[in-house]
Amino acid sequence: MVDYLTKQTYRAGAYLRLSIEDKKGNVESISIANQRAFIKEYALKNNIEIYDYYIDDGCSGGNFDRPGFKRLINDIENGVINCVITKDMSRLGREFIETGNYVFKYFPERDIRYIAILDNYDTLNPNGSEDMLPFKAVINDMYLKDISKKIKSVRHDMMKNGDFVSGTVPYGYKRSEENSKKLVIDEYAAPVVSRIFEMKDNGDTEGMIARYLTDQGILPPDVYRGKKLKRTTITTNLWKASTVKHLLQNENYIGTLIQGKYERVSLKSKKKKLLPKSKWIIKKNAIPALISKELFERVNSSKSKNDIRHRKYDYLLKGLVVCADCGCTMSVRRVKKQTGSEIVTPIYLCRTYATYRNGVCSMHYYREEDLNNIVLGQIRTILLKYSKVEDLSEKYETVLGASDILSEYVTALNRIQSKIITLDKAISDLYKDKASGVISLEEFLGIKNELEKDRRECDVKISNLETSISESKNLLTDEKTKQKYIDNFLKVKSFGKEMIKIFVNKIEIKEDKTVKIFFNFNLNGGY
CA 396/CA 386 separation, integer angstroms: 17
Q: 128 to each of 42, 133, 138, how far by Cα in Å?
A: 20, 10, 18
β-strand partners of 333: 347
Q: What is the pLDDT of residues 272-291, one digit of tens each?
A: 778 888 888 888 888 899 99
For residue 130, is pLDDT > 60?
no
Percentage of the chain modeled with pLDDT above 70: 72
Do the strands 11-18 and 49-57 form a parallel or antiparallel pair, or are they unpaired?
parallel
Domain ranges of the chain: 2-146, 173-307, 315-527
Lowest mean pLDDT among 141-145, 209-213, 326-330, 499-503: 141-145
- What per-residue confidence (pLDDT) applies to 10? 92
For residue 321, is pLDDT > 50?
yes
Which burial class, exposed, middle or buried, applies to 431 when counting CB atoms under 10 A from its CB (0-12, 13-18, 19+)?
A: exposed
**Is there a common fold for 2-146 and 173-307?**
no
Lowest mean pLDDT among 44-48, 140-144, 331-335, 497-501: 140-144
If DSSP states are collapsed to H, E and C, what string results for 300-332? HHCCCHHHHCCCCCCCCCCCCEEECCCCCEEEE
Q: Is residue 4 helix, strand or coil?
A: helix
Over residues 19-31, mean pLDDT: 61
Higher pLDDT, 153 or 489: 153
The arrangement of secondary structure in 2-146, i.e. its CATH architecture, is 3-Layer(aba) Sandwich (3.40)
- What per-residue confidence (pLDDT) applies to 208? 85
Over residues 473-490, mean pLDDT: 57
Higher pLDDT, 187 or 262: 187
Non-local CB neighbours of 307 within 8 Å, separated by 6+ positions: none
Lowest mean pLDDT among 64-68, 175-179, 283-287, 380-384: 380-384
Can you count the helices (H) and strands (E) in the chain? 21, 17
Tell me the whole-structure pTM to 2 decimals.
0.44
- By residue count, the chain amounts to 527
Higher pLDDT, 473 or 447: 447
Over residues 65-80, mean pLDDT: 93
Split at pLDDT 50, 70, 90, the class of 341 is: low
* Helices 241-248 and 206-215, packing angle to 10 deg: 110
For residue 308, is pLDDT > 50?
no
Phi, psi of 51 (to 5 degrees): -75, -45
Percentage of the chain modeled with pLDDT above 90: 18
Lowest mean pLDDT among 120-134, 166-180, 311-325: 120-134
Q: What is the pLDDT of residues 379-415, one digit of tens each?
A: 777 666 655 555 555 555 554 444 445 666 677 788 8
For residue 324, is pLDDT > 90?
no
Q: What is the pLDDT of residues 223-247, one digit of tens each?
A: 888 765 555 666 677 888 889 999 9
Q: What is the pLDDT of residues 88-129, one digit of tens each?
A: 888 888 776 788 788 888 998 999 999 999 888 888 887 655
Closest by CA to 61, choosing from 139, 163, 124, 131, is 139
Q: Which CATH class is domain 173-307?
A: alpha beta
Contact call for residues 16 and 53 (beta carbons, < 8 A): yes
Q: 38 to each of 35, 136, 409, how far by Cα in Å?
A: 5, 21, 86
Extended strands (E) in 341-381: 344-350, 365-367
